[in-house]
């Protein structure tokens, strides 16, 4: 028997979050948002196009790699965080 319609969106969300590509993509999106807020509102910085989208470039490299194993997902996630932090640090100095 199928699950009730009230549980269908939750099931789809859980299924989507089981995909490493979705998890890395969400982390990259969150990093881009945090970077934008910190750069503009807190640090009063103007980032160039390439630096502003650094987390996105890491995600694109992850997608192009074609690998979806746990190690690659972890490495891409760590890279997103480190690249975002490095961009903010370099521009703040």
Q: Domain spans of the chain? A: 20-92
Residue that has been written with the tokens 């934008």 in this structure? 36
Question: Average of pLDDT values for 61-88?
Answer: 93
**Who wins on pLDDT, 3 or 35?**
35
20-50, pLDDT tens digit by residue? 888 999 999 999 999 999 888 888 888 888 8
Is 60 exceeded by the pLDDT of residue 55? yes
Question: Average of pLDDT values for 41-65?
Answer: 90
Are residues 39 and 91 in contact, defined by beta-carbon separation less than 8 angstroms?
A: yes
How many percent of the chain have pLDDT more than 90?
48
Task: Supply the pLDDT for residue 1.
Answer: 46
């Amino acid at each position: 028997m199928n699950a009730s319609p009230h549980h269908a969106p939750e099931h789809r969300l859980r299924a989507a979050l089981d995909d490493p590509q979705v998890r890395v993509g969400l982390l990259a999106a969150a990093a881009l948002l945090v970077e934008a807020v910190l750069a503009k509102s807190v640090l009063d910085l103007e980032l160039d196009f390439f630096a502003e989208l650094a987390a996105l470039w890491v995600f694109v490299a992850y997608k192009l790699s074609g690998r979806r194993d746990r190690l690659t997902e972890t490495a891409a996630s760590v890279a997103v965080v480190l690249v975002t932090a490095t961009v903010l640090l370099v521009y703040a100095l």
